[in-house]
Amino acid sequence: MTTLVTPAPVRTETPPTRPRTGNRIGRVLGYLAMVVASVAVLLPFYWMVVSSLKTNNEVFTIPVTWLPSKPQWEHYVDIWTRSDLTTWLGNTVLLSVVVTFLQVLTGSFAAYGFSKIRFPGRDALFLLYIGTLAVPWQSYMIPQFVLLSKFHLSDTLWSIIAIQAFGAIGVFLMKQFYESIPDELVDAARIDGMSEFGIYRRIMLPLSTPALASLALLTLVNTWNDFLGPLLYLRSSNLWTIQLGLRTFISQYSAEYALIMTGSVLSVLPIVVIFLLGQRYFVEGVATTGLKG
């Protein structure tokens, strides 16, 4: 009896694929473009910091000197004695913290209602509320000012808190994040007898830390850099924020370029530090917002 032997298949090794030259060139060009964009964004900040350490004559010398010949560290002492910087920073910190807390609280609470509670007209009401983002503030700025003046809130810090305690952008951001949380988790909590306030406080808030950090950071930066609102409502010098104070300082010391740059550095530095500390949560919150669970 003859046995047929099947020959073993011949293995052919596929040579390792090499990245295409075109992809590599595109990646290098992309990195170069990001480096150029980063330099273009950071260069004004670098020039501002360096100018704060120069003398007034060195600030606008031609050609531009990118390093001070002798750092003038005393500018960071003189700015406190020649201006009311302590009051300006104190008012700005107070407004930023209070407004940020209120916007995070009201925005997250309203977003929970729009995303997890079913009631008639919910979607229409949400669209109407979000539609206010398309209305420029300049269109209702005067009626708002008259209304706050009738309530005797003008020329008080309460006026800034009242107009910025609620924000549609915060409700939209938090609603998009809450929709990524499964409804089954909320329904199970309701079956267990937990109230809506308990679900919001014990379930939704702990799960939404990245989104809350993103909203807090955006609100803090916006409130800190706000100029037009304090300009309209805060007329007393003891209520000025850092933006109003710097404008007055520039008008009084228009030739003190180095001191002006010093004040600008001190006004930007707290926001830069806060952003660097919270950038991980900010990126995570933006990346996860809108993803369905």
DSSP state of 52: T
Based on the domain organization, do 257 and 122 belong to the same domain?
A: yes
Percent of the chain with pLDDT over 70: 88
Is residue 160 located within the same domain as residue 260?
yes
Is residue 26's pLDDT more than 70? yes
pLDDT band at 103 (very low <50, low <70, confident <90, very high): very high
pLDDT for residue 9: 56
Q: How many domains does the chain have?
A: 2
The predicted pLDDT at position 98 comes to 95
Same domain, 43 and 173: no
| pLDDT band, very low/low/confident/very high, at 100 (cuts 50, 70, 90) | very high
Interval 53-70: pLDDT, tens: 888 777 777 777 778 888
Task: Give pLDDT, residue 146.
Answer: 92
Residue 22 has pLDDT above 80, yes or no: no
Whole domain around residue 257: which residue ranges? 76-288
Is there a domain that residue 170 lies in?
yes
User: Does some domain include residue 216?
Assistant: yes
Query: Which pLDDT value is given to residue 67?
Result: 81
Q: Are residues 175 and 120 in the same domain?
A: yes
State residue 96's pLDDT score.
Answer: 93
Same domain, 130 and 26: no
Q: Are residues 120 and 212 in the same domain?
A: yes
Q: Per-residue pLDDT tens for 128-179? A: 988 888 888 888 888 999 999 999 998 899 999 999 888 888 899 899 889 8
What is the signed CA dihedral for 37, 289, 102, 129, rounded to 10 degrees?
100
> Which of the four pLDDT bands, split at 50, 70 and 90, describes residue 257?
confident
Report the pLDDT value the prediction gives residue 282, as an integer from 0 to 100: 64
**Is residue 61 assigned to a domain?**
no
Split at pLDDT 50, 70, 90, the class of 16 is low
- In a shared domain, residues 127 and 41: no
SS3 of the chain: helix, strand, coil, percent, to 5 = 70, 0, 30
Mean pLDDT of 232-253: 88
Q: Are residues 186 and 47 in the same domain?
A: no
> pLDDT digit string (tens) for 177-207?
898 888 888 889 888 888 889 989 998 988 8
Residue 227 has pLDDT above 70, yes or no: yes
Residues in CB range of 225: below 8 A, 6 or more apart: 243, 271
CATH number of 84's domain:
1.10.3720.10
Whether 46 is in a domain gets the answer yes
Residues 45 and 84 in one domain: no
- The span from the CA of 142 to the CA of 187, in Å, is 45
- Could you tell me the sign of the dihedral formed by the alpha carbons of 41, 44, 50, 53, in that order? negative
What residue has token string 């670098």? 46
Is residue 245 situated within a structural domain? yes
Tokens of 182: 């499964």
